[in-house]
Amino acid sequence: MAKLYFSYSTMNAGKSTVLLQASHNYGERGMKTMLFTAELDNRSKVGNISSRIGLSEKASTFNNDDNLFSSVEKRLKKDKISCVFVDEAQFLSKKQVNDLGKVADELNVPVMCYGIRTDFQGKLFEGSMELLAVADNLKELKTICSECDKKATMVVRLDAKGNVILKGEKVLVGGNEIYKSVCRKHFRELTNLI
């Protein structure tokens, strides 16, 4: 029976790199995969999963209105898909996470999701919250705090001058120019939110 997987971390832990490597491994064995990424992620090019080390692969995009179960089911009518990969899984809706669970359960195709657990205020993203609740396998990918040598578990948002921002939209797509990964201790010291 296929499973729903969730690999989560802060920024800069290599989630997209791991996803692209896993998809490549399937391809080397002659198996096809289906890749999804959030439509709102425009850091490199919409519809591309890109890693900081230069790997890139074209992907289907999703927004909150998309039915991912139907998308996979439709693709399966044309191709045998061995695995579904989802980058930026924090942007999935609760319903989409459950649709991906149905892909594993009813279509017997494994689904591997990769995303950030919490936002810059330490709050769970909707997609991450549901994946933490229903995924068959959870895996934390680790990176190092930008302030010390401890494991980073949180992110802070920065303004143009590098000052920590405590308020704003939950979603603001960006990279190292807007966010930095920190341990809980430094998150607490920098934000006073916890």
Residues annotated as catalytic (active site), given as ranges? 88
Position 156, amino acid: V
Report the candidate in 141, 147, 137 with the shortest Cα–Cα distance to residue 181. Answer: 147
Are 87 and 49 within 8 A, CB to CB? Answer: yes
Answer for the pair 83, 110: CB distance below 8 angstroms, yes or no: yes
Question: Sheet containing 179-182: which strands, arranged edge to edge?
Answer: 164-165, 154-158, 179-182
The SS3 of residue 180 is: strand
Beta strands in the chain (DSSP E): 4-9, 32-38, 48-50, 56-58, 60-62, 81-86, 111-116, 137-140, 154-158, 164-165, 179-182
